[in-house]
Amino acid sequence: MTAVAFWSEPYEPTIEGDPEILGMLDWYRGLARADGALPRAAIDPLALRRHIGRLCLYQMTAEGRLRVRLRGEQIGERSHEDAAYLDENRPPAYRDSQLVDFHAALRAPHPCVHRVFVRAGEEQVFYRRLLVPVASTAQRADMLLLFNPDAQPGGRPSFMRVFERARWLSIGLNPPEDEGAD
């Protein structure tokens, strides 16, 4: 059986000298409340226009589910477009990894930065992800703003190839290009 895995690791953009994430963190620091949440009213699409296709906004429902409020057109691939809630993402192992990180980010007093890894067999890819806690009211954070600086129209070909392979393998099926292989 081919190894498949989805996981994330903390990522330190200052050590890596990551200008896009550091720029978003500077933007956040200029607007954040004392408790670390970003007021929803402070999110100005015009200020974020160069990043808008690489942003998603999720809102916690009364039932504890994260509802997709905005999905940047450069994020993910087509199968995610139909998911109204984060817990509908596929494959399940990827979704479960996301849910752990997203719920932790909602409780965090500051943004969380990760590298998200996908492995299918010997191939491994990653993307960078910034999760910013957002509050739609004066209460604690109930939303997350996701920034994926690695997103691009149609997805990065190498990432999409490995992710699609991992998606098939994670449900116990050979990917279409593997049909007939040993």
Using one digit for the tens of pLDDT, what is the confidence trace for 99-139?
A: 999 999 999 999 999 999 999 999 999 999 999 999 999 99
Question: Tokens 């191939």, residue?
Answer: 123
- Region of 151 please: left (phi>0), alpha (psi -120 to 50) or beta: beta
Number of domain units in the chain: 1
Domain containing residue 68: CATH number:
3.30.450
**Residue 22 in this model has a pLDDT that exceeds 60:** yes
- From CA 174, how far away is CA 68, in angstroms rounded? 30
* Average of per-residue pLDDT values in the chain: 89
Specify whether the CB–CB gap between 74 and 151 falls below 8 A.
Answer: yes
Specify whether the CB–CB gap between 108 and 36 falls below 8 A.
Answer: yes
Evaluate whether residue 8 is within a structural domain: yes
Residue 37 buriedness (CB in 10 A; 0-12 / 13-18 / 19+): buried
Range of the domain at 146: 4-172
Evaluate whether residue 181 is within a structural domain: no
Evaluate whether residue 148 is within a structural domain: yes
